[in-house]
Amino acid sequence: MMAAAFWLNSYEGIFILDPTLIYLPNNPNYKEAAFLPLDNDGKYVDVERLSLEERKKFKYTRAYKLTMLLHYSQQDEYFMFAGGHSGRGDESGLKMGEELVDNFVSQVGKGVIKLLIMDREFIDGAMITRFKKVYGIDCLAPLKSNMHALIDALGISRLEDVKWIKQFRRNKIRAP
């Protein structure tokens, strides 16, 4: 972690929580790597609901998972690593992401992370609620049209006493 003074100068407070898979060569020296199924385009496939025959169609590749906490400056157009964890490719990024945010806040303090943009893997009601109540962090995650969270949000948006608040305004990019 960098010195707290650096992070306190980040008035925007935009952070990104992102997991990524790191695919490895087929080498047994990669300790603690997980074998993950990939489709023809090299993308991970969740095979839990597939039959054994369907599972055999995929190529299995060794992988690690890297979960990163990134600070993003919209004004200055850069991002900086604020924390990271690497582990088995099949481990839950949710637990690691939660630990990254908790560790960052414990070292730097509340109020630095104002908006946490995160992947769908981190959608967890208890964690998001705790981040908001304890740390004051607003969370933003993409939702698919068939997800219960989207259906709930759309229902809440139709309530009469709900007011929408604009969180931040995008800066216009000027040509040089």
- Phi, psi angle pair for 153, to nearest 5°: -65, -40
Give the residue carrying structure tokens 């997980």.
34
Residue spans per domain, the chain: 4-144
Give the residue carrying structure tokens 């997991």.
19
pTM: 0.77
DSSP state of 135: I
23 vs 42: CA distance, rounded Å: 9
- pLDDT digits over 104-143, tens only? 999 998 989 999 999 888 888 899 999 999 999 999 888 7
- pLDDT digits over 157-169, tens only? 788 887 766 655 5
Which tokens belong to 57? 């169609």
Closest Cα partner for 94 from 19, 1, 148, 16? Answer: 19
